Homo-oligomer: A and B are copies of this chain.
Amino acid sequence: MFDPVCPSPLVPFRVGDKWATLILRCLQDGPRRFSELRVPLRGVTAKSLTQSLRGLERDGFVVREEYEGRRVEYALTPLGRGLLVPLDTACEWTREHWDELIDAQEAGLSATDH
């Protein structure tokens, strides 16, 4: 899922911007630091990560907590945690219909090639 060559862009569901769902998923097991998020989200630039986090924060899905020193943690709010529920439904549907999705897409693509 976090692999740069993963086909997740094929998934018809998106939440917010490109990285938002992945960030929510990264936070589901507890708060994470900025640099801890950059590891699983391979390929995300600092700018994009900041942008997405600011968006999620502005919309109340994530809180930014600054501790002593420069330590900063991002955590889900109750609202953000709630958002994971329908997101999981969507992910599960996608997994269940993955083969159909791929087949339909390949059929659609080969229909325009010729």
Task: Decide if the interface of chain A is mainly helix, strand, loop or mixed.
Answer: helix
Number of copies: 2
- Interface residues of A, count at CB 8 A: 32
Is residue A41 contacting chain B, with contact meaning CB distance below 8 A? no
Contacts of A105 in B (CB 8 A): 58-60
The answer to whether B86 and A90 have CB atoms under 8 Å apart is: yes
The answer to whether A108 and B60 have CB atoms under 8 Å apart is: yes
The answer to whether A86 and B83 have CB atoms under 8 Å apart is: no
Q: Which of B83, B92, B104 contacts A60 (CB 8 A)?
A: B104
Is residue A2 contacting chain B, with contact meaning CB distance below 8 A? no
Q: Given A60-B108, A108-B58, answer yes or no on A85-B79 (Cβ-Cβ < 8 Å).
A: no
Is residue A107 contacting chain B, with contact meaning CB distance below 8 A? yes
Contacts of A61 in B (CB 8 A): 12, 104
Q: Given A60-B104, A60-B107, answer yes or no on A13-B15 (Cβ-Cβ < 8 Å).
A: yes
